[in-house]
């Protein structure tokens, strides 16, 4: 039986020219072009897949989105009008006229390097921060193990004479404090939540173990600078500070050591602080992560990053929450109570040591 040459795909490829291949490749998605390029360096289709005609539209679309994310409107006194400005790292690549795939890869690498340098800069700043607390840091697991076999309520009653404690929840506006408190207090899902402006709000949480009950009086505070003088009026008699930041918001991280810890140390130097990383669901949101990197040269912090920050700031422990996924909701009341216990124990040891020194 005779064999037909046209059944051989390699012979078919030899009969087609580059222009025909380009027409075929024009129906490929960017993802498919990338996969094709990885198949073989010598395969003609793989080589053609990198040409500018396939990448220019994708490149320009990306740059346009990046410009929308980073655009800033400024007033120009010379023209007496508003002008739109963009970061240098965006303008640099917006001017490219060829090698679009290569430049897109270069831009991503440059952004990754700049982002990690920015994150490192923040952590270097943290290393120079001086906090007042001498209480050791506990991981969440260590905290639970320390408090698992003792009667916390009896001890706290003996130390404080009461089982009602004020917990101040503070941090930058928009980090998720209020949504966390409403979702936890009223068992609300993310779909039930709307924007809730905060001035001050109170919530009562109860922790029960056996016959013992501990009441936590949580005060949700406004983080805007306009409320700086008013906010500190609720600090007296605070038993615990729950200091919140958003894992994707660099300003909320920087303000931990520029604003919030100094404010707490000024008004309540001996009150324990629990650090809470909020909005952890954002780590899996590719669109938001990309926007944060492009706009702020930042990335969502990891759990390990959060613990490192908590140690540097003198916080007792570090926890994470998300009012979208309800992460961290189940045991947060227990964690608050455990922090109260280890802080009271640390104070007791300090007093005993002080007496021995005298």
- What tens-digit pLDDT sequence spans the chain (358 residues)? 445 555 565 666 667 788 888 998 999 999 999 998 888 777 888 889 999 999 999 999 999 999 999 999 988 888 888 899 999 989 999 999 999 999 999 999 999 999 999 999 999 999 899 887 778 999 999 999 988 778 899 999 999 989 999 999 999 999 999 999 999 998 877 656 565 655 567 899 999 988 889 999 999 998 999 989 999 999 999 999 999 999 999 999 999 999 999 999 999 999 999 999 999 999 999 999 999 999 999 999 999 999 999 999 999 999 999 999 999 999 999 999 999 999 999 888 777 655 444 4
CATH of 134-357, picked from 3.30.70.1380, 3.40.50.10170, 3.40.50.300, 3.60.90.10, is 3.40.50.300
Q: Which residues contact 227 (CB under 8 A, 6 or more apart)?
A: 199, 221
Q: CATH 3.40.50.300 occupies which residues in the chain?
A: 134-357
Distance between CA atoms of 172 and 254, rounded to whole angstroms? 10
- pLDDT at res. 8: 62
Report the pLDDT value the prediction gives residue 151, as an integer from 0 to 100: 87
Q: Give the pair of three-digit tokens for residue 109.
A: 């690498």
The first and second tokens of residue 327, run together, are: 């992460």
Long-range pairs of 198-207 with CB within 8 A, sequence gap ≥ 24: 198/173, 198/222, 199/227, 200/234, 205/333, 205/336, 206/333, 207/333, 207/334, 207/336, 207/337
| pTM score, whole prediction | 0.86
- How much is the pLDDT for 133? 72
């Amino acid at each position: 039986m005779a064999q037909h040459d046209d059944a051989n795909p390699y012979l078919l490829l030899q009969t087609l020219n580059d222009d025909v291949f380009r027409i075929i490749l024009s129906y490929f998605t960017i993802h498919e072009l990338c996969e094709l390029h990885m198949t073989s360096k010598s395969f003609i289709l793989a080589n053609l897949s990198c040409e500018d005609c396939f990448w220019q539209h994708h490149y320009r679309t990306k740059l346009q989105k990046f410009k929308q994310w980073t655009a800033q409107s400024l007033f120009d006194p010379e023209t007496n009008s508003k002008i739109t400005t963009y970061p240098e790292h965006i303008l640099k690549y917006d001017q490219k006229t060829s090698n679009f795939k290569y430049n897109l890869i270069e831009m991503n690498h440059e952004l990754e390097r700049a982002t990690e340098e920015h994150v490192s800069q923040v952590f270097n700043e943290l290393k120079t921060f001086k906090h007042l607390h001498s209480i050791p840091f506990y991981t969440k697991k260590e905290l639970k193990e320390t408090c698992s076999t003792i009667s916390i309520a009896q001890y706290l009653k003996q130390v404080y004479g009461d089982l009602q404690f004020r917990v101040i929840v503070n941090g930058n506006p928009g980090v998720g404090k209020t949504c966390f408190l409403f979702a936890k207090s009223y068992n609300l899902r993310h779909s039930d939540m709307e924007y809730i402006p905060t001035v001050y709000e109170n919530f009562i949480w109860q922790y029960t173990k056996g016959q013992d009950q501990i009441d936590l009086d949580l005060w949700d505070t406004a983080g805007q600078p306009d409320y700086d003088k008013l906010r500190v009026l609720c600090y007296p008699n605070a038993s615990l500070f729950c200091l919140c930041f958003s894992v994707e918001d660099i300003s909320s991280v920087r303000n931990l050591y520029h604003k919030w810890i100094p404010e707490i140390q000024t008004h309540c130097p001996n009150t324990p602080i629990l650090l809470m990383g909020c909005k952890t669901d954002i780590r899996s949101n590719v669109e938001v992560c990309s926007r944060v990197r492009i706009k702020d040269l930042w990335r969502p912090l990891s759990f390990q990053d959060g613990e490192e920050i908590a140690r540097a700031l003198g916080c007792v422990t570090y926890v994470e929450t998300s009012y979208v996924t309800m992460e961290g909701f189940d045991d947060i009341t227990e964690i608050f109570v455990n922090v109260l216990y280890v802080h009271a124990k640390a104070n007791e040891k300090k007093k005993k040591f002080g007496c021995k020194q005298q």
